[in-house]
Structure 1
Amino acid sequence: MNISQQLERGKRSLVHDPREGDDNKITLVRAKGSLVWDDTGREYLDCTSQAWSNNLGANDPRVIDAAIAQMREITHARPNFNTIPLLQLTAKLREISPGDLNRIGYCLHGSLAVEMAIKLAYKNRPGRHNVIVLQDSYHGRSLTTMAASWPHPNNPFLPIQPRFTRVPHPDPYRPRLGLDVEEDSKLCLSLLEDTIMKGVDGGVVAIMMEPILGNGGHIELPLSFLKGVREICDRFGVILIWDEIQSCFGRTGEMFAADYYGIVPDIMTFGKGIGGGFPLAGIMASDRLDNFDAGEDALTFGQFPVAMAAAVATIDAIIADDLCKKARDHGAYATQRLHEIADRRKLIGNIRGPGLFVSIELVKDRKTKEPALRAASEVYKRGVKKGVLFGESRYAGLGNLIKIKPPLDCTHEQMSLALDVLDDVLGSIEADGIA
């Protein structure tokens, strides 16, 4: 069997739906900075940062060198033992963690980090039974985190999933009942308070939310809402969990969204951008909370020394290269260009940030704001043909957002190219009458 036959058999044998994301998935073989190459040798500008994980560009030599050096020492240790990278990374995270989030735990994936946060919240609020989430939040695809996320169509796992209480949130682009943004924020805060007081039996353990809604719409929540939720949690003794897996390590223009907004949650999840391409995630928790007791949160691969050594190098590089500032600069440039493009391309209904957390919402009509689902799918497909990988929102054709989120250290020329291609692609889609 030759290599082509092996690869074809591999594709046919995967348990995951081959249609997930793209009917003709690209097979990647190499990555460097903001670029990736497929198995035909074709080059692409990656505006997805591989699921927003490469805040520092792919295969940064400082990260690779740190990982290789660690591989020569020890690659695995069970949680009964400490390792040098574990202790070094924990000390480094304490230096940059917001507020009093000085207790740190690790795992290898964002979904497990969210579950860790939920477990710690329950441990600290014994006798309470409910976790409240926002209607368009996304927290992962494990059994627990799928249940905490926006509803999945035809979900076959409902019989064995835990139950979460979903509450509405403000949407600056689509405020309710003709209200302005601040009135919508007040309404949603009132509904949240009513839910805590009257909407659940057994008391509320925590409110879990993304400070910027990611996969569920890329919605930047009003600061008044974020502050209001913090105040409600303080008043009712409810733990506030921020899921920062998509927004951490420079993506907003600050190291954490908590720094950007000036709000400190009680527990914060992190992941994606920390590992420099290696799997790593975890939580930061307030000093005021009790820690786990023995056996309550133990995973065989709860620490991966190679990923932790890579994470130390990644954080050092983010700071040394001032990537938070680069995120702000690239984001400001992208936003300016997108407003200019929107003057010509009527499919663009809304432009969103902050930092390099950039996206556009595509609509059929700017007055009705009806989502342009087909157009969004076409942007991705036509972008691929032109050598640019744009991000999409949600899955199964449900989203109408296009995300432009390359690594924070992309060049100005690369960002300009991505926006040029987007402009061209939108023009061709409008010329073809697709919405």
Structure 2
Amino acid sequence: MNVAQTAVKSDEYRIEEGKRSLIHDPVEGDNTKITLVRARGSYVWDDKGNRYLDCTSQAWSNNLGANDPRVVEAAIAQLREITHARPNFNTKPLLTLTSKLRDIAPGDLHRIGYALHGSLAVEMAMKLALKNRPGAQNIIVLQDAYHGRSITTMAASWPHPDNPFLPLQPRFTRIPHPDPYRPRLGLDPETDVQLCLSLLEDVIDRGVDGGVAAIMMEPIMGNGGHIVLPVSYLKGVREICDRRGILLIWDEIQSCFGRTGKMFASDFYGIVPDIMTFGKGIGGGFPLAGIFASEKLNKFDSGEDALTFGSFPVAMAAAIATIDAIIEDKLCDKAHDLGIFATGRLKEMAKHRKLIGDVRGPGLFVSIELVKDRETKEPARAAAAEVYRRGVDRGVLFGESRYAGLGNLIKVKPPLDCSVEDMGHALDVLDEVLGSIEADGIA
């Protein structure tokens, strides 16, 4: 096709051709693969003019709400100055953001590094751990962990079905973890915690060769089932790491910047890891991620960690505005209060919606686990997928846990500045959708 023919293609043709040409295979007839054209606050609009209340915050990234004018103006102002600098150079946004993050960092996590997405931030954390524990060859992760979809981070996450990437993936040691909703062998949850801590020590002693550099975990497990790990377990892992000279990495990419009702889950639990990843909510819709690390750890040497666009000035300017807005608008407090409202409503809903097995927080880290039977707790995966689809039809975007139809969680995680009225509407729609699914006998 020549240049003249290319130029006359209509916008509609371009859109359809683009859909056919994407490398990621869409699900045939999937009504949820909508084309977004506009976003403001808690809402997004598609190319047909439909408006949706976004209870996914676009993968939990719009903590501040979509297209906040303060973030947009900060990004535009930076665009007029400098849009790109290679990592050999500093920029004012880089140094200003680093200083602000140091101010709000938990404990002594005053060393800060950057990447453009969470998977590379996790890889940065692992590299720093291995550098600081020479000779230790293993990183331990939890069985239902989720740390990203790069070759390395997929290997550190719960098993991908029919994984075609195994030949190139590193091997991680996965350990069992407590699940307060499903404690093992009918144990009470605290006994299950102690069992899992004992198993962790056993794995460190007898389950690996070459020593353990780090234990990496999400304090609240996101895509692996929104499992809220008990504080006694988190403190127990911290104690084991301290006693054995192992570094503790917390992956806070989903829980950071106000989502739990505190700036970080580390603040919520009162536990400080040695390395902590961040991402998603920091950028106000712009791509940015990175790590906090203890001042006790050695820095990277030249060439060990350098990304061409890792210090993207526009995203960093947006992040500065985002952090300022989260603090000025008291969004951590708002997330705490709105989360109490939401989980309270969901617990009331559970009294008449038999599909709801469990309601979870904290803050706006809100979800429900759907089950076929409350006694057996068998996951209701088909019902969860149907909630998602029917929610779209009613103008509300609910989140799911896991992909490929493997999850049975529904997430209600709008931006932190979502109004009580909008949250109430989302929960009304959820109630209606669950009622229609139960009436249809879907589980």
Under TM normalisation by the shorter chain, which class is it? over 0.9
Within the candidate set 39, 49, 61, 2:47 is matched to 39
Aligned to 1:369: 377
Within the candidate set 159, 176, 186, 2:184 is matched to 176
Within the candidate set 281, 301, 307, 2:289 is matched to 281
Aligned to 1:298: 306
Q: Secondary structure at the match of 1:189?
A: helix
Q: Secondary structure at the match of 2:58?
A: helix
Deviation of 1:23 after TM superposition, in Å, equals 5.7
Unpaired runs of 5+ residues, structure 1, are none
Confirm or deny: 8 A CA contact 2:259 2:335 kept in the other structure.
Answer: yes
Q: Secondary structure at the match of 1:85?
A: helix
Letter in 1 for 2:158: W
Letter in 1 for 2:67: N
Distance 1:17 1:303 in 2: 31
Query: In the alignment, is residue 6 of structure 1 matched against residue 5 of structure 2?
Result: no
Deviation of 1:19 after TM superposition, in Å, equals 2.4
Q: Secondary structure at the match of 1:293?
A: coil
Distance 2:26 2:313 in 1: 32
Query: In the alignment, is residue 25 of structure 1 matched against residue 33 of structure 2?
Result: yes
Query: In the alignment, is residue 186 of structure 1 matched against residue 172 of structure 2?
Result: no
Deviation of 1:2 after TM superposition, in Å, equals 1.2
Letter in 2 for 1:373: R
Cα distance change of structure 1 residues 20 and 406 upon mapping to structure 2, 3 Å threshold: farther
Distance 2:435 2:206 in 1: 50
Within the candidate set 153, 165, 168, 2:173 is matched to 165
Within the candidate set 60, 64, 72, 1:64 is matched to 72
Deviation of 1:176 after TM superposition, in Å, equals 0.2
Letter in 2 for 1:183: T
Q: Output aligned runs, 1:217-236, within 5 Å.
A: 217-236=225-244
Distance 1:23 1:299 in 2: 37
Q: Secondary structure at the match of 1:87?
A: helix
Aligned to 1:106: 114
Distance 1:346 1:74 in 2: 55
Q: Percent of aligned pairs with the same residue? A: 79
Cα distance change of structure 1 residues 23 and 386 upon mapping to structure 2, 3 Å threshold: closer
Aligned to 1:200: 208
Letter in 2 for 1:297: D
Unpaired runs of 5+ residues, structure 2, are 1-8
Confirm or deny: 8 A CA contact 1:20 1:396 kept in the other structure.
Answer: no
Confirm or deny: 8 A CA contact 2:32 2:389 kept in the other structure.
Answer: no
Query: In the alignment, is residue 322 of structure 1 matched against residue 306 of structure 2?
Result: no
TM-score normalised by L of structure 1 = 0.99
Q: Secondary structure at the match of 2:369?
A: strand
Distance 1:227 1:22 in 2: 43
Cα distance change of structure 1 residues 24 and 93 upon mapping to structure 2, 3 Å threshold: closer
Letter in 1 for 2:426: A
Q: Secondary structure at the match of 2:214?
A: strand
- Equivalent pairs, count: 435
Letter in 2 for 1:225: Y
Confirm or deny: 8 A CA contact 2:113 2:291 kept in the other structure.
Answer: yes
Query: In the alignment, is residue 54 of structure 1 matched against residue 62 of structure 2?
Result: yes
TM-score normalised by L of structure 2 = 0.97
Letter in 1 for 2:38: R
Q: Can you list the C-alpha shifts for 1:24-77, whole angstroms capped at 9, x where unaligned?
A: 510000000000000001000000000000000000000000000000000000
Cα distance change of structure 1 residues 203 and 98 upon mapping to structure 2, 3 Å threshold: same
Q: Secondary structure at the match of 1:79?
A: coil
Within the candidate set 346, 349, 368, 2:354 is matched to 346
Letter in 2 for 1:298: A
Aligned to 1:389: 397
Letter in 2 for 1:14: L
Letter in 2 for 1:163: R
Distance 1:426 1:360 in 2: 11
Deviation of 1:110 after TM superposition, in Å, equals 0.1
Distance 1:238 1:50 in 2: 35
Q: Output aligned runs, 1:409-420, within 5 Å.
A: 409-420=417-428
Aligned to 1:406: 414
Aligned to 1:212: 220
Letter in 1 for 2:249: I
Q: Secondary structure at the match of 1:215?
A: coil
Within the candidate set 70, 79, 83, 2:91 is matched to 83
Q: In angstroms, what is the RMSD of aligned CA positions?
A: 0.9
Confirm or deny: 8 A CA contact 1:21 1:396 kept in the other structure.
Answer: no
Q: Can you list the C-alpha shifts for 1:116-147, whole angstroms capped at 9, x where unaligned?
A: 00000000000110000000000000000000
Confirm or deny: 8 A CA contact 2:241 2:248 kept in the other structure.
Answer: yes
Deviation of 1:5 after TM superposition, in Å, equals 1.0
Letter in 1 for 2:33: K
Q: Secondary structure at the match of 2:190?
A: helix
Confirm or deny: 8 A CA contact 2:140 2:216 kept in the other structure.
Answer: yes
Aligned to 1:152: 160
Q: Secondary structure at the match of 1:163?
A: coil
Distance 1:21 1:170 in 2: 38
Query: In the alignment, is residue 260 of structure 1 matched against residue 272 of structure 2?
Result: no
Q: Can you list the C-alpha shifts for 1:200-233, whole angstroms capped at 9, x where unaligned?
A: 0000000000000000000000110000000000
Confirm or deny: 8 A CA contact 1:245 1:269 kept in the other structure.
Answer: yes
Aligned to 2:131: 123
Letter in 2 for 1:76: H
Aligned to 1:272: 280
Q: Secondary structure at the match of 2:364?
A: coil
Q: Can you list the C-alpha shifts for 1:84-123, whole angstroms capped at 9, x where unaligned?
A: 0000000000000000000000010000000000000000
Aligned to 1:15: 23
Distance 1:166 1:268 in 2: 19
Letter in 1 for 2:415: P
Within the candidate set 367, 382, 395, 1:359 is matched to 367
Confirm or deny: 8 A CA contact 1:349 1:361 kept in the other structure.
Answer: yes
Q: Secondary structure at the match of 2:78?
A: helix
